[in-house]
């Protein structure tokens, strides 16, 4: 399974631009961590892209992503990728054994939260963001209320990454990614 095939599956099932952007954000974070850990960037990219591929047709916990798994298998997605995608759903209670599975869980909610933060910042950017700013925003329960703060914290712990470093690492990965609609800071004048 390569990225092009994964993108084809994603666009077959996901019409929402915001959901596609979320999948692109998770892909960017997964790819960055694959590079950091010396893992297969293409495989990790595919997992990031496809993790929410069925959310429009199965938007409830009783279906997503378990009901989407057979659709992935029908399209030739390898079983280890299908399993990794299912493990990001806390409510399925599937053990996350591999670094790939732990990373997907660690970046999913965080990527959504960081994009929400960027969209309310001047220039719609994450450039220069500090972990302390993210922690402050996380305390505001009205901000991005659908994002699980517990999953964000637990994800970093499960991955074994210090929280502050994890937040900044993912923010940098998202800022560097194209197609997310995130701006860049104005260049300093000399």
- Ordered by start, the domain boundaries in the chain are 3-176
Amino acid 188: pLDDT: 36
Amino acid 62: pLDDT: 83
Judge whether 163 and 153 are in contact, CB under 8 Å: yes
Rounded Cα distance, 91 and 134, in Å: 25
Tokens (6 digits) for 72: 């992935």
| Sign, Cα dihedral of 64, 8, 34, 180 | negative
Q: Give the global pTM.
A: 0.93
In a 13 Å sphere around the CA of 15, the CA atoms on its Cβ side amount to 2
What would the CATH number be for the domain defined by 3-176? 1.10.3210
Judge whether 156 and 106 are in contact, CB under 8 Å: yes
Amino acid 184: pLDDT: 59
190 residues of the chain, pLDDT tens digit each: 999 999 999 999 999 999 999 999 999 999 999 999 999 999 999 999 999 999 999 988 788 999 999 999 999 999 999 999 999 988 888 999 999 999 999 999 999 999 999 999 989 889 888 999 999 999 999 999 999 999 999 999 999 999 999 999 999 999 999 888 887 543 333 3
Rounded Cα distance, 60 and 91, in Å: 11
Give, in order, the Cα–Cα distances in Å from 166 to each of 58, 62, 148, 158.
30, 30, 16, 12
Amino acid 182: pLDDT: 85
């Amino acid at each position: 399974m390569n990225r092009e095939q994964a993108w084809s599956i994603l666009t077959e099932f996901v019409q929402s631009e915001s959901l596609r952007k979320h999948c692109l954000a998770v892909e960017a974070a997964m790819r960055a961590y694959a590079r950091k850990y010396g893992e297969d960037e293409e495989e990790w990219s595919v997992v990031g892209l496809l993790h929410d591929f069925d959310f429009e047709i199965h938007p409830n916990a009783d279906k997503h992503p378990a009901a989407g798994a057979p659709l992935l298998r029908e399209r030739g997605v390898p079983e280890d990728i299908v399993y990794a995608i299912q493990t990001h759903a806390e409510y399925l209670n599937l053990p996350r054994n591999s670094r790939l599975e732990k990373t997907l869980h660690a970046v999913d909610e965080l990527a959504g939260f960081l994009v929400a933060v960027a969209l309310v910042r001047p220039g719609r950017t994450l450039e220069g963001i500090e972990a302390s700013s993210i922690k402050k925003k996380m305390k505001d329960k009205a901000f991005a209320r659908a994002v699980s703060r517990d999953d964000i914290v637990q994800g970093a712990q499960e991955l074994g990454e210090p929280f502050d470093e994890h937040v900044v690492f993912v923010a940098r990965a998202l800022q560097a990614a194209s197609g997310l609609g995130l701006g860049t800071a104005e260049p300093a004048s000399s």
